[in-house]
Structure 1
Amino acid sequence: MKIEHIAAWCNDLEKTKEFFVKFFEARSNEKYVNKIGFESYFLSFDSGARLELMHMDPLAIMVITMKDSVLFILQFQ
C-alpha cells in the first residue's frame, strides 16, 4: 500500500509553502483557489512523496460545516 499524499491545514499558507521549498527542496504547483475561498498547494519531493498544504478562512469553514451538519476542527499552533 502507498499513501498518495498527506494534507495539512495552515494558518499562513504562503509562509508554510516557502518553508518546505527552502528547507526540504519541495517543488510547488500553482496555488489552487476555489469559489468559496479554499486555497491549497501540492508540494512534491524527490522521494515521490506529496504534501498538500491547505487554508480557508475559519468563519467560512464554520458556515460550511454547520450547513452540512458535519463539524470537524483541526488546529495546530
Structure 2
Amino acid sequence: MRPEHVPVDAYRLLRELAVKKKIRIPNRSLDNDAAVGFLLTRSLAKKTEDEQHLEPTDEGLAVGRIVHAPPR
C-alpha cells in the first residue's frame, strides 16, 4: 500500500476488524459508506460471501494492528 492518510472512520473500522476478525457492515450513512468504501478500494478489507460482513485482509490486519506494549 502506498503511504497515505487513512480517514478516522475507516481506521476505527480497521481497528475493530483487527480485534474481532469479522464485523457486520455498519448501518448505511455517508460516513460509514465512505469508510467501508475506503477499506474495500484499498484492499484493506473484503466483504464476506453474504455481503453482510467485513473481514480484514492480511494488509488490513498489518495496518490496523497496534502493538500493545512498547518494545524493551
TM-score of the pair, normalised by structure 2: 0.29
The structure that has the greater radius of gyration is 1
- Greater percentage in strand: 1
Q: Which has the higher contact order (CA 8 A, sep 6+)?
A: 2
Q: TM-score, normalised by structure 1?
A: 0.28
